[in-house]
Amino acid sequence: MECERCGSPSVIDRPYDGSHPCERHFRASVRDRFRREMHRQFPRFSGGRIAVALSGGKDSAVALSLVHAYFDRRPGAEIVAVTVDEGIEGYRSATMGKADELARRLGVEHRIVRAKEELGATTDAAAARLGDAQPPCGFCGVWRRRLLNRAAREVEADVLVLGFNLDDLAQTVLMNVVRGDVDRLVRMAPHRRRQPGLVPRIAPLATVPEREVYLYARLAGIPFDHSECPYAGRAARNVFREVLWRLEETLPGTRHTLLRTRTKLAEALEAAGAGGAPVLCERCGEPSTGPVCRSCQYLDAAGKPLMEVSGSWGP
């Protein structure tokens, strides 16, 4: 196939909008969508720190590269990449190597936060202890969010950029709808306002499908790690991924529609009081939706002595 804009060989077929761009127009379209989302999700920037969650995988690597290019000519912007080491033997060390390579290439400050040091727990140890009772992505994701938020707050970041792509977000919308979790549907990124203790999270790759993020990373020569987490097969979202693939095949554009629907719903639900404001966890002092945050509850379940944990965080 040929690019509909210039006649050069196309690099991708996009059924959801009927286009099949060449490399040049494909890469430009990813940058355009990223820029549009940056303007929409983070409209008032007048200098400050931008924290970027960097795992070393394709999504966060592309997000950091585009954030770097976006703020390159804006005075007063300082970018800090943050990598969380959850403690997953044989997996995280490889992705962290790529994260470091990219941060160095871009000349971006890179901070590494280790769950073992900050929480006294690792995903491996908790997974071994909890066995089949608890899919590891549940506690691993909660702990990572807590560590990322804290790191972003410590560097006084105005915003925390996440590499979530269109597929990730559409899956999350569907999961929250199926579970009837209206509050989480409202609270999911991108955040429109600042809440006490929480650095607003934005997702400027929100309208770029996962395979386009991958293709962009390959074509742009962005270093990233290809390996998959050993626990990924147990993730609850896998079934939603499959359902969405099938829906997208039959009804191209489903993922975009889900995301737009969520935006409209969140506005109406927020106006009606859903989502709520966070309180501070009585054990660790981090933002929470109840007296004890989910991170502390998971630490309880994983058998970590809580005194040690609350001491390391402080109110």
Q: Please give the Cα distance from 84 to 264 (Å, whole number).
A: 32
Q: Which does 147 bind (CB under 5 to 8 A by kind): Zn ion, ligand SF4, none?
A: none
Nearest to 103 by CA among 74, 77, 83: 83
Q: Which does 123 bind (CB under 5 to 8 A by kind): ligand SF4, Zn ion, none?
A: ligand SF4
Supply the DSSP symbol for 195: B
Q: Which does 29 bind (CB under 5 to 8 A by kind): ligand SF4, Zn ion, none?
A: none
User: Is residue 59 within 8 Å of 168, Cβ to Cβ?
Assistant: yes
Q: Please give the Cα distance from 280 to 289 (Å, whole number).
A: 8
Cα angle value 143/198/42 (rounded, 5°): 115
Regarding 281 and contact with Zn ion (CB under 5 A), the answer is yes
- Interface positions, 232-251, toward ligand SF4 (CB under 6 A): 232, 235
Q: Please give the Cα distance from 196 to 175 (Å, whole number).
A: 26
| Binds Zn ion (CB under 5 A): choice among 87, 284, 298, 302 | 284
x/- string (CB under 6 A) for ligand SF4, residues 13-52? Answer: ----------------------------------------
Task: Name the packing angle between helices 294-301 and 306-313 (round to 10°).
Answer: 150
x/- string (CB under 6 A) for ligand SF4, residues 95-134? Answer: ----------------------------x-----------
Q: Which does 96 bind (CB under 5 to 8 A by kind): ligand SF4, Zn ion, none?
A: none
| Binds ligand SF4 (CB under 6 A): choice among 37, 59, 85, 86 | 86
Alpha carbons within 13 A on the beta-carbon side of 259: 22
Regarding 278 and contact with ligand SF4 (CB under 6 A), the answer is no
Structure tokens of 112? Answer: 């590494």
Q: Which does 252 bind (CB under 5 to 8 A by kind): Zn ion, ligand SF4, none?
A: none
The maximal CA–CA distance of the chain, rounded, in angstroms, is: 65
Regarding 296 and contact with Zn ion (CB under 5 A), the answer is yes
Cβ neighbours of residue 291 under 8 Å, at least 6 residues apart? 279, 281, 282
Regarding 81 and contact with ligand SF4 (CB under 6 A), the answer is no
Q: How far apart are the first and last CA of the chain?
A: 59
Regarding 162 and contact with Zn ion (CB under 5 A), the answer is no
Structure tokens of 11? Answer: 């690099």
Burial class (CB in 10 A: 0-12, 13-18, 19+), 299: buried
57 vs 204, beta carbon nearer ligand SF4: 57
Segment near ligand SF4 (CB under 6 A), from 33-41, 224-232, 255-263, 287-295? 224-232
Sheet holding 201-202, edge to edge: 109-114, 77-85, 48-53, 157-161, 201-202
Q: Which does 235 bind (CB under 5 to 8 A by kind): Zn ion, ligand SF4, none?
A: ligand SF4
Q: Which does 239 bind (CB under 5 to 8 A by kind): Zn ion, ligand SF4, none?
A: none
Distances (CA, A) of 127 to 36, 86, 139, 315: 40, 12, 9, 28
Segment near ligand SF4 (CB under 6 A), from 137-145, 175-183, 184-192, 276-284? 137-145
Q: Which does 284 bind (CB under 5 to 8 A by kind): Zn ion, ligand SF4, none?
A: Zn ion
| Binds ligand SF4 (CB under 6 A): choice among 231, 297, 310, 313 | 231
Residues engaged in binding Zn ion (CB under 5 A) = 281, 283-284, 293, 296
- Binding residues for ligand SF4, rule: CB under 6 A, are 86, 88, 123, 136-137, 140-141, 229, 231-232, 235
